[in-house]
Chain A
Amino acid sequence: MSNVILKNLTKKFKEIIAVDNVNIEIKDKEFAVLVGPSGCGKTTTLRAIAGLEEATSGEIYIGDKLVNDVQPKDRDIAMVFQNYALYPHMDVYNNMAFGLKLRKFPKKEIDQRVQEAAEILGIENLLKRKPKQLSGGQRQRVAVGRAIVRKPKVFLFDEPLSNLDAKLRVAMRAEISKLHRRLEATIIYVTHDQIEAMTMASRIFIMNEGRVLQIGAPLEVYRKPNNKFVAGFIGSPAMNFIDSKIVKENGDYFIDAESFKVKAPQAFYSKIADYAGKEVIFGVRPEDLHDKQFVSKITPSIFNTINTKAEVIEPLGAEIFIYLTCGKHSVIGKMDSRTQIEVDQSMEVVLDMEKTHLFDPKTLLVIV
């Protein structure tokens, strides 16, 4: 078993709490992605698992063994660093073989494992080169190769793609996913990029201010965010948040944002009953705003349509981002590219109400 369990893990640097009582279990063979903005504690969590940081309190288990006092080299893990951390004075072969040599593996086995890893990564012809002579993408592969020759229980990746250019990043994303399937190993992967998280993870662990806010499969956290932070962090462009009020009229519930008023779907009623007359935060993803001209699956009505004005238009080809104002509110819509709107024109926008969310403005937790 190569699962990783963190129990009440806390890490303080002097007065600053970097990791705050984290309790998670990463399952065997899972691709777990820890994601969050910089300073959220994701890297510190990873480094604590690696043994590069000592936990202030709490327990770390790898493969059901308590490892708090175990040195990094004896934890049966391998790590890929953000800046690769290749040894500049060793060639690619020796960079990969170093860990095996230190563990006194027989020469033949080292050869065989390095060769195998090099084949998987397509770097057989680079083995005699020094890191200096490699491109960024090649260095990345060597760093991964150094990890896989060891055949560890758990792979740790610390923002491994952040130093690559955009195009290479997309390619490496797919390769790492493939590698995960091939190696059938547990991977813990840290990134600040929610697209990396969404595309690669079996499960996403969203962190902020040292805590894990939500755990789930990519689409699950996208569709059912637990709280306003997760809702805003996952998805691009970010979800629109509008300060509103719940109003009950003739047995129906409305979301009233002063500049507009829309009707809550029937499914929301039981959960928002207690909020009648109270403030809420109304959340709509840009992709759930539609131009009335091109709306297909939803029926426009006065209950889900708002009048807006276009401020900025960003055509991306397949879709079009429109920055809209509606009274005092500003929202972004990701719309059908056939939209003919021009700047300063008014536009009728239909909201896909079933997919919207409401958040409690005090706790920031999701209401529905």
Chain B
Amino acid sequence: MQIKGDKWTPILFITPSIVAVGIFVYGFISWTSFISFTKWNNVMPDYTLVGFENYRKLFNNMRFQIDLHNTFVFTVIFVTSCLLIGLLLAVLIDQRIKGEGIFRNLFLLPMAVSFIVSGVIWRWLFNPGSFQLGNIGVNQLFEKVGLNFLTCGWYTDPNIGIKAVAIAAIWQFSGYTMALYLAGLRGIPLELREAAAIDGANQWKTFYYITLPFLRPITFGAIIILGHISLKIFDLVVAMTGSGPAFSSDVPAFFMYDTTFRGNHFAQGASIAIILLFLVSLLIIPYLITTFRKEA
């Protein structure tokens, strides 16, 4: 604590931020929750309260059920692939290889690019072509290198749908996961690996008993970050596929946008948003609490 006089100045200076975040985050979340309990499902606002009606309708809605399923599939594929690829690349790059910087920068580059940009490109790459055009994009590439059995309809195939979006997302975020792991690997004291080597551990055992336990908090953090990104995924879906055939690439965030701003079902849209927020909070709040309790 400081001596009087300067005690209030710091609080004065942080107050605008507190007020702004208070209103624009917490106030607006409350406002959205309020809307989700009303009848406002038309252009004109109607604040008649209807209880959980919008939520009831939502969970009975076929499209929302598909969305939840898609989100689950997307999250599992996206998070596990990013973790595995990220860890693999980080470990390989950490082997004091030549051209380390080049590989690292290349793998991280997609992170700098907007989801819309990558969506546009991947939409072209995954374009299944047609009878007249023949194979184009990735399919054409597969054909050229003799991997014909890999050609498929990508996002036009309802069985693939969201998985094609996941590949684009993996392209964007696996390098980021690699960077997290690489920072973790570089943080392991060299003495520790040396000690393990002197104790008679071979490379695999050192990796298993020293490296992996050290990386556990990073894996934990990465799961939280990647998981919450996949719950919120929106831009990429818009730019790549939209809802896709039979809603096969639809996600809650896109459903919310569609319902609210194209369909003018504001209360219904608000209820989707609140469910989305709830799912994200399940991941983030425990993370924030543990991270900052540790520091304090």
- Chain B interface residue count, CB cutoff 8 Å, equals 6
A209 interfacial by beta-carbon distance below 8 Å: no
Distance in angstroms between the alpha carbons of A54 and B2 in the assembled complex:
6
* Pairwise interchain contact A71-B6, C-beta atoms closer than 8 A: yes
* A344 on the B face (CB < 8 A): no
Is B187 interfacial (CB 8 A cutoff)? no
Give every chain B residue within 8 A of A152 (Cβ-Cβ): none
B4 within 8 A of A: yes
Q: Give CA–CA (A72, B4) in the complex, Å.
A: 10
Please name all residues of chain B whose beta carbon is closer than 8 Å to the beta carbon of A69 when the two chains form the complex: 3-4
Q: How many A-B Cβ pairs are below 8 Å? A: 13
Residue of A nearest to B1 (CB): A54
**For chain B residues 5-55, which have a beta carbon within 8 Å of chain A?**
5-6
A286 at the interface (CB under 8 A from B): no
Q: At the interface, yes or no: A210 with Cβ under 8 Å from chain B?
A: no
- The minimal Cβ–Cβ distance linking A148 to chain B, given in whole angstroms, is 24
A54 to B5 Cα, complex, angstroms: 12
Interface residue? A333 (CB, 8 A): no
Nearest chain A CB to B2 CB, angstrom units:
7
- The smallest C-beta distance from B1 to any residue of chain A, in angstroms, reads 5
- Give the size of the chain A interface in residues (CB under 8 angstroms): 7
A71:B5 contact, CB within 8 angstroms: yes
Q: Which residues in A have their C-beta under 8 angstroms from that of B6?
A: 71
B3 contacts across to A, CB distance below 8 A: 51, 54, 69-72
Residue of B nearest to A67 (CB): B3
Give Cα A53–Cα B3 distance, bound, in whole angstroms.
7
Tell me, in angstroms, the Cα distance from A54 to B1 when the chains sit together. Answer: 6
Alpha-carbon separation in the docked complex, A70 to B2 (Å): 11
Across-interface contacts of A70 in B (CB, < 8 A): 3
A54 to B3, CA, bound (A): 6
Among residues of B, the one whose C-beta sits closest to the C-beta of A70 is B3
Nearest-neighbour CB distance to chain A for B21, whole angstroms, equals: 28
Chain B residues contacting A54 (CB-CB under 8 Å) are 1-3
A70 vs B4: C-alpha distance when bound (angstroms): 8
B7 to chain A, nearest CB (A): 9
What separation, in Å, do the CA atoms of A71 and B1 have in the docked complex?
12
Interface residues of A in 37-79 (CB under 8 A from B): 51, 53-54, 69-72
Give the shortest distance, in Å, between B219 (CB) and chain A (any CB). 34
Kindly provide the distance from the CB of A18 to the nearest chain B CB, expressed in whole angstroms: 13
Closest Cβ–Cβ distance, residue A97 to chain B (whole Å):
23
Q: Which chain A residue shows the least CB distance to B7?
A: A54
Please give, as numbers and ranges, the residues of chain B lying within 8 Å of A72 by CB-CB distance.
3
A69 to B4: give the CA distance in the assembly, Å. Answer: 6
Q: Nearest-CB distance from B50 to chain A (Å)?
A: 49
**Please, which residue of chain B has its CB at the minimum distance from the CB of A55?**
B3
* Those of B238-275 within 8 Å (CB) of chain A: none
Closest B-chain residue to A72, C-beta based? B3
Of all chain B residues, which has the CB nearest A68? B3
Residues of B within 8 A of A51 (CB): 3
Task: Give every chain B residue within 8 A of A53 (Cβ-Cβ).
Answer: 1
Report Cα–Cα, A54/B7, bound state, in Å: 11
Residues of A157-188 at the interface with B, using a CB-CB cut-off of 8 Å, are none
Q: Which residue of A lies closest to B6 (CB)?
A: A71
CA distance A70 to B3 in the complex (A): 7
Q: Please report the C-alpha to C-alpha distance between residue A72 and residue B5 in the assembled complex, in whole angstroms.
A: 11
Output the least CB separation between B293 and chain A (Å).
15
| Cα–Cα distance between A69 and B2 once the two chains are bound (Å) | 10
- Expressed in whole angstroms, the minimum distance between the Cβ of A29 and any Cβ of chain B is 26
**Distance in Å: Cβ of A272 to nearest Cβ of chain B:** 49
Name the A residues within 8 Å of B5 (CB-CB): 71
The minimal Cβ–Cβ distance linking A319 to chain B, given in whole angstroms, is: 37
| In the complex, residue of chain B having the shortest beta-carbon distance to the beta carbon of A69 | B4
For the complex formed, measure the closest distance between the CB of B59 and the CB atoms of chain A, giving whole angstroms.
47
Say how far A127's CB is from chain B's closest CB, in angstroms: 31
Closest A-B pairs by Cβ, 7 of them: A54-B1, A71-B3, A51-B3, A71-B5, A69-B4, A54-B3, A69-B3
Instruction: Enumerate chain B interface residues (CB-CB to A < 8 A).
Output: 1-6
Additional A-B contact list (10), CB under 8 Å, known A54-B3, A70-B3, A71-B6: A51-B3, A53-B1, A54-B1, A54-B2, A69-B3, A69-B4, A71-B3, A71-B4, A71-B5, A72-B3
Of the A-B pairs whose beta carbons lie under 8 Å apart in the complex, a sample of 13, sorted by A's number, is A51-B3, A53-B1, A54-B1, A54-B2, A54-B3, A69-B3, A69-B4, A70-B3, A71-B3, A71-B4, A71-B5, A71-B6, A72-B3
